[in-house]
């Protein structure tokens, strides 16, 4: 612990890491319940792997931005603590695997030396705020959304209102109406707009999500002024925290709150919450994200390109001229998002002379380089080619998005990583002309939960299983017709048919051949799919679902040698439900301490929200004593009144609802914070007394 104190400059981060080390020790000593500890470590980016005894560490990179120094730091950390590999994710994070739990505090401390965090990369929190990777250089953008994404990340990191929600909360910023950050699948999706007065703002999408049941977001604001961005998000999160489901993880996202209460009611409740917001207006510092330093021109020797045709393909598919004339953005296609740490070091050395010191991780698990001079493109291409990082066809049919699947994920049913490589090889070898096609996206997930975004794919696959007699074989659910339309409108893919996993190559070949043969000139895949209809594709692919023709190798999954067997663990993305009375009262004690600390620091809104959570945790503890396990905070408030207050089993001067919900009827002032904190302390004390009475009965 001493090393954290001496080496880290940020006292808040230092406290976080020391606390993690203490909690790990207490967990090992049996002083913290497993469920509570799981929730704590998830909020610090520490996620259990499929392999017992090791952890996946998710490194949070707001809007995918990473500098040369930070990427090198992550590579060093992966060498020291993990498996010497960096995995790029669809949420612009980097994951490393096979980490010992005991080493995670020091790992985190090492990352923070270059301002890289793990905080709230997993768990029931506001996850990594994503944005179009081309933000700042996109020729079609009305303005750079990077400072806005940064402001949202900064405001909600460690914010009390979003530390223990029912489930995760996802926010995205697209750079233009092309909507390449997928606003329509996010809890809150944002598209930049400039109104007729020249003012900046955002179109707001609300309540989207993929998972096993995709729901597309609704347009709720055509123009939200930029200073209202953070207050608007805060009020929505407050509603989600209070009304979101906590017991049934399958119904614990904002989309289900909207489904249950109705969109208009959720918006009404959010409007009420604005009274309690920390800020009523939040001006955005447009200079918060420093512009990358443009590389100086360098003397470039004569370049000999061995395969000029391949270079021309790369230029056509992996580069574009920025809005800053004379400079080019260069996309790097990274197969399955995996970069060995040693390759990452060589990559930085190769690009350093030619690109700005700002790399963006892309949503399809690649990288974007900025500010490349036209004359430097050949040298950059040669450097990337030497590292096998110059494959053409970025974000095309040949660029398959995938999650880790059964390689490391507890929920993986079938192998998605090897399948992605196989499908890419098929495109390059049999459909080379499709590397120019950016209309069709292929996406794979190892299970139905859509971490590989199969739910928004034009051609999607997710891992599953099939029974053939007494045997089980790996299979894939085939989905077609999803994807981005633009300006907040998207399509969820249709489930068409399930086939053995080894026949996924035949599925792709059949669909692409049919598209090539039967689409009209310049016809987009969506139009072709709609014109033919879902049943057309079911009939087209039906022969591939015939299980009477199975061969022995179809009982073995891609990338495996042994016969397939389903082995699904417990997923952790959704967090956990805590039902131990003692644990809840321990939490309430901890939260009252946080409330007092926030009050001492004049953080009135934070003190109030911590005090609110003290009362919720305390009330839930007493309800559990009667075997009543409510799934939302709103339900706890209502049930406590019905079970305890109205029956005079717990004496209050008012209803519990009126006591607790003062929070959204009062401005977050010092006076109210002092009153509310005192009321929370009194309530907690009374709950402890009541608890003792119940134990003695």
The per-residue pLDDT for range 442-461, each reduced to its tens digit, is: 999 998 888 899 999 999 99
Whether 271 and 338 map to the same domain: the answer is no
Whether 408 and 551 map to the same domain: the answer is yes
The number of beta carbons lying within 10 Å of the beta carbon of residue 194 is: 12
Whether 602 and 511 map to the same domain: the answer is no
In a domain, 227, yes or no: yes
Q: What pLDDT, in 10s, does the model give residues 206-252?
A: 999 998 889 999 999 999 999 999 999 999 999 999 999 998 888 99
- Which of 386, 410, 429 delimits the end of a domain? 386
Q: Starting from the edge strand earliest in sequence, which strands make up the sheet with 46-48, in order? A: 46-48, 55-59, 94-99, 85-88, 338-340
Strands (E), 200-307: 200-206, 218-225
Whether 348 and 421 map to the same domain: the answer is no
Give which of 34, 52, 37, 41 is closest to 17, Cα–Cα.
Answer: 41
Whether 238 and 140 map to the same domain: the answer is yes
- Which of 256, 276, 296 delimits the end of a domain? 276
In a domain, 575, yes or no: no
pLDDT of res. 299: 87
Whether 516 and 379 map to the same domain: the answer is no
Number of domains in the chain: 5
pLDDT(58) > 70: yes
Read off the pLDDT of each residue in 460-482 and give the average, rounded to a whole number.
94
CATH number for 61: 3.90.480.20
Q: Tell me if 512 sits within 8 A of 434, measured CB to CB.
A: yes
In a domain, 123, yes or no: no
pTM score? 0.93
Whether 382 and 420 map to the same domain: the answer is no
In a domain, 562, yes or no: no
Whether 95 and 134 map to the same domain: the answer is no
Q: What pLDDT, in 10s, does the model give residues 492-529?
A: 999 999 999 999 999 999 999 999 999 999 999 999 99
Beta-carbon contacts of 592 under 8 Å, excluding residues fewer than 6 positions away, are: 610, 611, 614, 677, 680, 681, 684
In a domain, 563, yes or no: no
Read off the pLDDT of each residue in 310-332 and give the average, rounded to a whole number.
97
Range of the domain at 544: 401-555
Strands 171-173 and 130-131: parallel
Q: What pLDDT, in 10s, does the model give residues 286-300?
A: 999 999 989 889 888
Whether 427 and 485 map to the same domain: the answer is yes
Q: Cα–Cα distance between 250 and 233 in angstroms, integer?
A: 23
In a domain, 176, yes or no: yes
pLDDT of res. 696: 67
Whether 375 and 423 map to the same domain: the answer is no
Instruction: pLDDT band for 6, please (50, 70, 90 cuts).
Output: very low
And the tokens for 408? 């490391």
Whether 250 and 151 map to the same domain: the answer is yes
In a domain, 566, yes or no: no
SS3 category, 444: strand
And the tokens for 336? 């399955």
pLDDT of res. 564: 66
CATH number for 166: 3.30.413.10
Whether 376 and 406 map to the same domain: the answer is no
The C-alpha R_g of the chain, in whole angstroms, comes to 26
Q: Cα–Cα distance between 333 and 392 in angstroms, integer?
A: 7
In a domain, 560, yes or no: no
CATH number for 596: 1.20.120.330
């Amino acid at each position: 612990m001493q090393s954290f104190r001496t080496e880290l400059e940020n006292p808040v981060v230092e406290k976080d890491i020391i606390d993690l080390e203490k909690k790990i020790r207490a967990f090992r000593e049996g002083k913290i319940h497993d469920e509570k500890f799981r929730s704590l470590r998830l909020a610090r980016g520490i996620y259990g792997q499929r392999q017992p005894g090791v952890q996946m560490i998710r490194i949070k990179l707001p809007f995918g931005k990473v500098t040369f120094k930070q990427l090198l730091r992550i590579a060093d950390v992966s060498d020291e603590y993990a498996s010497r590999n960096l995995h790029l994710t669809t949420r612009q994070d980097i994951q490393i695997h096979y980490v010992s739990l005991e080493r995670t505090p020091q790992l985190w401390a090492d990352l923070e030396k270059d301002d890289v965090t793990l905080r709230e990369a997993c768990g029931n929190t506001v996850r990594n705020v994503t944005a179009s990777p081309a933000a700042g250089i996109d020729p079609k953008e009305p303005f750079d959304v990077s400072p806005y994404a940064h402001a949202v990340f900064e405001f909600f990191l460690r914010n009390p209102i979003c530390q223990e929600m029912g489930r995760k909360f996802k926010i995205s910023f697209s750079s233009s109406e092309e909507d390449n950050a997928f606003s329509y699948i996010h809890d809150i999706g944002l598209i930049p707009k400039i109104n007729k007065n020249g003012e900046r703002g955002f179109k707001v999408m609300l309540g989207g999500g993929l998972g096993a049941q995709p729901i597309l977001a609704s347009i709720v604001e055509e123009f939200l002024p930029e200073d209202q961005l953070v207050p608007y998000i805060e009020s929505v999160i407050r509603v989600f925290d209070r009304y979101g489901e906590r017991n049934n993880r399958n119904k614990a996202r904002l989309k289900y709150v909207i489904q249950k209460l109705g969109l208009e009611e959720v918006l009404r409740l959010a409007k009420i919450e604005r009274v309690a917001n920390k800020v009523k207006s939040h001006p955005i510092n447009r200079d918060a994200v420093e512009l990358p330093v443009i590389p100086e021109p360098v003397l470039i020797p004569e370049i000999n390109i061995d395969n000029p045709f391949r270079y021309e393909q790369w230029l056509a598919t992996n580069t574009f001229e920025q809005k800053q004339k004379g400079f080019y953005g260069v996309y790097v296609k990274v197969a399955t998002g995996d970069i060995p740490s040693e390759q990452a070091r060589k990559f930085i050395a190769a690009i350093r002379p030619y690109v700005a010191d700002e790399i963006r991780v892309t949503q399809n698990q690649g990288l974007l380089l900025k500010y490349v001079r036209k004359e430097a493109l050949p040298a950059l291409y040669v450097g990337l080619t030497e590292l096998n990082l110059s494959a053409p066809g970025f974000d095309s049919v040949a660029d398959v998005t995938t999650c880790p699947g059964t390689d490391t994920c507890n929920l993986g049913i079938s192998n998605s990583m090897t399948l992605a490589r196989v499908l890419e090889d098929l495109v390059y070898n049999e459909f080379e002309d499709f590397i120019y096609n950016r209309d069709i996206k292929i996406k794979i997930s190892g299970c139905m939960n859509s971490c590989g975004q199969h739910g928004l794919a034009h051609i999607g696959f997710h891992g599953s299983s099939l029974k053939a007699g007494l045997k089980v074989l790996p299979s894939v659910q085939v989905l077609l017709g999803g994807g981005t339309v633009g300006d907040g409108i998207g399509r969820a893919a249709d489930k068409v048919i399930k086939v053995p996993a080894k026949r996924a190559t035949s599925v792709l070949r059949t669909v692409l051949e049919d598209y090539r043969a039967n689409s009209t000139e310049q016809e987009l895949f969506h139009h072709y799919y709609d014109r033919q209809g879902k049943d057309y594709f079911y009939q087209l692919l039906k022969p591939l679902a015939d299980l009477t023709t199975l061969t022995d190798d179809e009982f073995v999954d891609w990338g495996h040698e042994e016969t397939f067997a389903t082995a699904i663990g417990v997923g952790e993305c959704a967090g956990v439900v805590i039902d131990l009375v003692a644990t809840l009262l321990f939490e309430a004690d901890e939260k009252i301490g946080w409330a007092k600390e926030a009050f001492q620091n004049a953080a009135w809104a934070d003190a109030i929200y911590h005090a609110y959570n003290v009362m919720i945790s305390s009330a839930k503890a007493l309800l559990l004593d009667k075997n009543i396990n409510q799934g939302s905070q709103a339900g706890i408030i209502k049930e406590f009144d019905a079970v305890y207050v109205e029956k005079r089993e717990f004496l209050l001067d008012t209803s519990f609802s009126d006591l607790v919900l003062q929070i959204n009827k009062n401005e977050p002032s010092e006076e109210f914070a002092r009153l509310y904190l005192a009321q929370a302390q009194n309530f907690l004390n009374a709950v402890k007394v009541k608890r003792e009475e119940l134990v003695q009965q």
